[in-house]
Amino acid sequence: DAKTTQPNSMESNEEEPVHLPCNHSTISGTDYIHWYRQLPSQGPEYVIHGLTSNVNNRMASLAIAEDRKSSTLILHRATLRDAAVYYCILGSTNSGYALNFGKGTSLLVTP
């Protein structure tokens, strides 16, 4: 399985943009890049996913490098409720259906 590398933790000020990086140098052509987040005492929550092009939704934006070996999840204005562990995961219908979570990035948001 293709692996991802994320920083263990990051810190941001409230109402500032946050850029969460993810490296996936062994990504295959059929792998989608998925982001989930997990708030304390809750199950993971889908954030966004993409294949090649940048993606935007109401929660976040996903910027994918041209060579697809890295990506960045962008939270445009962090709020205290965005404090969570963010997981970057690769997956495709070809490689199976189980999401392989790593340890993720723990995001701390300070007022």
**Residue 97 within binding range of other proteins, rule CB under 8 A:** yes
Q: Please, which residue, 1 or 16, has the CB nearer to other proteins?
A: 1
> Among the candidate windows 18-26, 34-42, 63-71, 72-80, which touches other proteins by CB under 8 A?
34-42
If binding is defined by CB under 8 A, does position 101 make contact with other proteins? yes
Residue 14: CB minimum distance to other proteins, A: 25
What is the maximum span of the chain, computed from C-alpha positions, in angstroms?
Answer: 43
The answer to the question of residue 53 lying near other proteins (CB under 8 A) is no
Residue 52 CB-half CA count within 13 A: 5
Q: Please, what is the minimum distance in Å from the beta carbon of residue 43 to other proteins?
A: 3
Q: What distance in Å separates the CA atoms of residue 23 and residue 8, rounded to the nearest whole number?
A: 13
Give the count of residues interacting with other proteins (CB under 8 A).
Answer: 25
Closest CA to 14 of 60, 76, 59: 76
Q: Judge contact between 85 and 37, C-beta under 8 A.
A: yes
CB of 94 to other proteins, least distance (A): 9
Q: Are strands 45-50 and 105-110 parallel, antiparallel or unpaired?
A: unpaired
Whole-number Å distance between alpha carbons of 5 and 84: 17
Q: Can residue 93 be called a binding residue for other proteins (CB under 8 A)?
A: yes
Least Å from the CB of residue 42 to other proteins: 6
